[in-house]
Amino acid sequence: RAESATRAQLTVYAAASLTNVFPAIDKSEKYSFGGSNALAAQIKQGAPADVFASANMTLPTQLFQQGFCSKPKVFTRNALVIVVPKSNPAHIRNIYNLTKSGVKIDIAASGVPVGTYTLQILKNMNLTNAVLKNVVSQETDVREVLAKVALAEADAGFVYSTDAKTVPGKVKVIRIPAWAQPKLRYGICVVSSSSQKTAAKAFIKRVLGKAGQKKLHRYGFLPRVKPKS
């Protein structure tokens, strides 16, 4: 029924990090941005979502296995960066400075995607213990990490490179070597309970399509497939 010519708006549940880019790709839909976990949990509780765009693949894959959504597709990738306050009180120049004692580091909790990725990076660079000893807080949401760095309460924090761009005036970005980056893939899928599956599929196409990918790129996201180097 909702398949009529003038179809109703889609409801898109998307990871917080997509807050700016998705409306840019398609402003006609309704969006609910939040921590991917929370969104997934809500979908399990029967939230009226048509599309779920997660900041990782694990969550949508879980949903898929439990029959809550279609098989997820990777639609973009992201990278982690270190943000430090503009004033950079702890004089962080690179990731290795994070091991200096007394540095206040803020990361997301292991339950949250960003948190998992952060730990992977530290593992890859085997800085795990050296850095974790400086961690002062494990937030429940990447927003809190960003807020605390922005307020200069924390000396440094791990966030998506895309998040960093949203508070330009307040933080400085410090890159993390590409080789240490985890596979940071965003998955998107159609929610099983959706009443507008075709429209939902169409939306996903738009995201995967040229225009969509361009927008994503403009907002600092990486191409969905790693360019072979």
Partner 1 sequence: MRRALGFGLFVAVAVVTLAFLALPIVGIFVHTSPGNVLHQFSNPVVKDAFVVSLKTSLLAQAAILLFGTPTAYLLATRRFPGHSLAVTLVELPLVLPPAVAGVGLLAALGRFGLLGSSLSALGITLPFTQTAVTIAVAYVASPLYIRQAIATFEATDPHLTAASRTLGAGPVRTFFRVVLPLARGGLIAGLALSFARGLGEFGATIMFAGSLQKVTQTLPLAIYQEFAVNFDASLAMGAVLVLISAVLLLTLRIALSWRSSPSTRSPSLFGLSSSS
**Residue numbers at the binding site for partner 1 (CB under 8 A):** 11, 16-17, 19-20, 30-35, 37-38, 41-42, 45-48, 104, 106, 109-112, 135-140, 142-144, 146-148, 150-154, 163, 166-167, 170
Handedness of CA 127, 130, 135, 138 (dihedral sign): positive
Of 133 and 226, nearer to partner 1 (C-beta) is: 133
First to last CA, the chain: 48
Q: How far is the CB of 185 from partner 1 (least distance, A)?
A: 19
Of 17 and 196, nearer to partner 1 (C-beta) is: 17
Of 132 and 208, nearer to partner 1 (C-beta) is: 132
Q: How far is the CB of 4 from partner 1 (least distance, A)?
A: 21
Q: Which amino acid is at 194?
A: S
Of 27 and 228, nearer to partner 1 (C-beta) is: 27
Of 154, 174, 175, give the one whose Cα is nearest residue 105. Answer: 154
Q: How far is the CB of 179 from partner 1 (least distance, A)?
A: 28
Q: How many CA atoms lie within 13 A of 17 on its CB side?
A: 32
Q: CA 203, 61, 213: angle at the middle one, nearest 5?
A: 35
Handedness of CA 31, 115, 76, 222 (dihedral sign): positive
Q: How far is the CB of 211 from partner 1 (least distance, A)?
A: 22
Distance CA 131, CA 137 (A): 12
Q: How far is the CB of 13 from partner 1 (least distance, A)?
A: 8
Of 167 and 208, nearer to partner 1 (C-beta) is: 167
Q: How far is the CB of 89 from partner 1 (least distance, A)?
A: 8
Residue 45 CA from chain centroid, whole number: 22
Of 152 and 208, nearer to partner 1 (C-beta) is: 152
Q: How far is CA 50 from CA 70, 121, 188, in A?
A: 11, 33, 11
The residues with which 160 forms a beta bridge, in sequence order, are 80
